[in-house]
Structure formats: structure tokens, C-alpha cells
Amino acid sequence: MVFVTGEPGIGKTTVVETFLGQVAGEEELWIGRGQCVEHYGVGEAYLPVLEALGRLCREEDGKEVVALLRHQAPTWLVQMPAFLSTAELEELQRRTAGVTRERMLRELAEALEALTAERALILRLEDLHWSDYSTLDLLAVLARRQERARLLIVGTYRPVEVLTCDHPLKGV
């Protein structure tokens, strides 16, 4: 897990995108991109991670990601109904009814391990200073896992927003 920090407009995104452009040509890998957005109320849990997964599902080999999520992380796939037929969505909703937040964290951690068994994954998460608590919990879980995964998480944030507001990202 790598954090790129700096003030607004300093070039965090440019640095990260340049890096991703360089490594994308070196080997076959997944690159998922997600963005946190500033909320003026309650935001959607896991928004940048769901965005990154959705983008992966729309890529050329996206059916492979959808199949893996269906099997290993159905609670995540049910949050992305565009990739399911009506019947598949209803079946997954029945299977995942009453699922806990903790199960969602475990499911995705295990799914990412399976997804990266053959192909590395880089998750780029922008503007983590606007992140929801659930996304930060997921980052903490992934950072502490002992199992092998070819996973690199690159997050950007503005340090002044994290330090002055006693943001939970500070603990992560």
C-alpha cells in the first residue's frame, strides 16, 4: 500500500497515472481506478472500491472478474447490478440477505487474493481524504492480511485535510 500525498493541484494524480502507464506495458495486470468524492451528507459505502471493481468488470476480460465476484464475493457483485441479469440479481440478493459488513470485508479480501493469483492488480484510489469509513476499514483489512496477493493499492490524499480534521485515514 502506497500513499501519494500533497496539496491540491501539486500533481499527485499525474505522478500516479504516469506510474500506471509505465507498468501497464511491462506485464499483464489489472488496473482498477476509483475516486472518492466530497459528500455533503452520508456517502455510499465503499464507493471508490465499487467504482474500481465496476471498471474492471467492463474491461475486455471483465467477465472473468464478474465470475470470480459471483463465486467469491457475491455481496460485492450484488452492489453492481448492471453486470447481472434480473434473475441472477434476484438470486444473489436472496443469497446475500442479512450479510454483515464484516463478511463483506472478508469476501473481498479473499476474492482479491484469488483474482491476483495469476495476474497482478493495482487499485488506484483517488482523494482518500473524502473517503467513507467503510473504504478505510477495507484498506486496513487488506494492509494487515498475511495471505499472498499480487496487489498494490495506490491512494492519494491531501495531508492537510487528514491532519487538521483528525480524519480516520490518519490511523490507517
Cell 492537510 -> residue: 160
> pLDDT tens string for the chain (172 positions)?
999 999 999 999 999 999 999 998 777 899 999 999 887 767 789 999 999 999 999 999 999 999 999 999 999 999 999 999 999 999 999 999 998 989 999 999 999 999 999 899 999 999 999 998 899 999 999 999 988 889 999 999 999 888 777 777 877 8
Q: Cα–Cα distances in Å, from 17 out to 13, 31, 66, 92, 154?
A: 6, 11, 25, 35, 10
The dihedral built from the CA positions of residue 79, 85, 90 and 96, taken in this order, carries a sign that is negative
The helix/strand count (H/E) of the chain reads as 8, 4
